[in-house]
Amino acid sequence: MSETKRSKELSATGNRFVPLKIKRPQNIKNDVLSGLTVSMALVPEAIAFAFVAGVNPKVGLYAAFMMGLVTAIFGGRPGMISGATGAVAVIFTPLVAKVVAEGQSAGMSTEMIMESALGYLFAAVILMGMIQIICGLLRLGKFIRLVPHPVMLGFVNGLAIIIFKAQFDQFTVGGELLATTPLAVMSGLILLTMGIGIFLPKLTKAVPATLVGITVVSILGHFINQGNPGLVRTVLDFVQDRNASITTIAAGLPTFGLPAIPFSFEAFNTILPYAVLAAAVGLIESLMTLTLVDELTETRGRGNKECVGQGLANVVNGFFGGMGGCAMIGQSMINIRGGGRGRLSGITSALCLLGFVLFGAAFIEQVPLAALVGVMFMVVIGTFEWSSLRLMNKIPGSDLLVIVTVSAVTVVVDLAIAVLVGIVISALVFAWEHGKTMLAEKKELNGRTLYCLSGPLFFGSVTSFKGLFDFKKDAAHVVIDFAESRVWDHSGLEALQNVTERYSQNGKKLHLLNLSKECRRLLGKAGNIVELSVIEDLEWHIAADTLA
């Protein structure tokens, strides 16, 4: 497809801010540079989500490394980035808080309390991973197809809003807004980062604009802090603002260990609800991010393999001291727009992150928060489906309702709940629209009344179906032709039985013609519930009351 034609299509859909398809060649240089850029953006989020879960920052950093590495190798979507995420962290937060509260009431020492809390957390992460692996092996990833496009738009917009809101935490110290001068400097550096991200690609695409922006702002921030110490807030400032006792993000290699948790049914019962919910949320976010990356790159990932990869990564997390996670839409967008297409980009980001933790903590701690906030603001601009704003008067009201509802619920409540609500609304709208009217052509043929149905017979259409028949004036034998119709559920069966009984009360008999194999199978299974006459043709030669 030519670029001119593509531009016309994008203009027709109203998507003029950000190109829907991102055509970048896949090569080692792009993967490595993009992976390096992503690794820098992973650090503050991994630390922030560790604080959300109530654990040490290194638990979040370990999770980001292991999730990124394992899913990059074994996952089903090259180029997609996984790590410690807020969606999973908020699920495990009540579990950690519960164990801490129980330990405090039992008079345990602080060290023992945290060991117990981490034990329950790691065990829940392992169970979460096992559930995800089972989902992949059962090939449940295919059910992502049930997510309608309006739900996808709402999901993307909701996550963009969440990412945008999360950045404002960087503008505060101790819960208070920065003073005027630091705030002005930070705002200026954010604009500089965004400006580089917007204009540099117009000059050259040899290196990711995001990486150049972080590097330039880091150098500038270093010189500003030389003359005015503390004026430019850094990653280390962010960490110490939340826990003053932490002096560095440096740590050693993650080590293997069994979770410190009692081997009992009570302990299993404690972690099970959190593990199930986290597994569901993790898979939903990962599979929907996979779908988005598919659209951006015009390639196709493997959903079931991604389920297994996510599950394996979480199992490894639990045994090596990570808090678990899932795919990250923000970092995945950074990677894709930076040219990262292959598995090497994810592997590079994970290894670079580990390198920062092991050897380069002094460097990464001095990266200005403004650079990372500017990068995430660019992610927000690229993630939000601006075209959905211009589709308000061009799509059905029900689809607009789904988009707005899913976006709002994603921001206010939870991603999994939002997707579920969106699917339910879409399904109900579909059922309503297809069940409002059911058509039938009525004929008198050889002393019999023939109804040729058109449309599905299910719970949404049974009322219309029952209103089609004239029980008093029809002939003694009534035939319903299902050549253009199907019986889909028990409500349809019950409607047929009801019509049969009403004809019987008027001394007439109902017959069913041209049933599909699926309909016959459904009626056969309901043989002890309904009694219907199924015929083979209108000549009555092979008539059979198979269910009588």
Residue ranges, comma separated, of all CATH 3.30.750.24 domains in the chain are 436-534
Question: Are the C-beta atoms of 461 and 434 separated by less than 8 Å?
Answer: yes
Q: What pLDDT digit, counting tens, does each position of 483-496 carry?
A: 888 888 888 888 88
Q: pLDDT at residue 276 above 50?
A: yes
Binned at pLDDT 50, 70 and 90, residue 120 comes out as very high
Q: What pLDDT digit, counting tens, does each position of 186-243 carry?
A: 999 999 999 999 999 888 888 888 889 999 999 999 999 998 998 999 999 988 888 8
DSSP one-letter code for 437: -
Q: What pLDDT digit, counting tens, does each position of 370-384 carry?
A: 998 998 898 888 888
pLDDT of residue 359: 92
Q: pLDDT at residue 387 above 90?
A: no
Q: Per-residue pLDDT averaged across 240-249, rounded? A: 85
Question: Are the C-beta atoms of 143 and 134 separated by less than 8 Å?
Answer: no
Lookup: tokens for 453: 């149905």
Q: pLDDT at residue 13 above 70?
A: no
Question: Are the C-beta atoms of 64 and 370 separated by less than 8 Å?
Answer: no
Q: pLDDT at residue 541 above 60?
A: no
* Residue keyed to tokens 């050549």: 483
Q: pLDDT at residue 8 above 70?
A: no
User: Which residue, 377, 299, 304, 349, is CA-closest to 81?
Assistant: 349
Q: Per-residue pLDDT averaged across 22-31, rounded? A: 73
Assigned superfamily of 436-534:
STAS domain (3.30.750.24)
Binned at pLDDT 50, 70 and 90, residue 327 comes out as very high
Lookup: tokens for 64: 């980001």
pLDDT of residue 531: 58
Please work out, in degrees rounded to the nearest 5, the angle formed at the alpha carbon of residue 40 by the alpha carbons of 214 and 412: 100
Mean pLDDT computed over every residue of the chain:
85
In angstroms, the Cα distances linking 548 to 175, 508, 533 are: 74, 15, 7
Lookup: tokens for 433: 């629209």
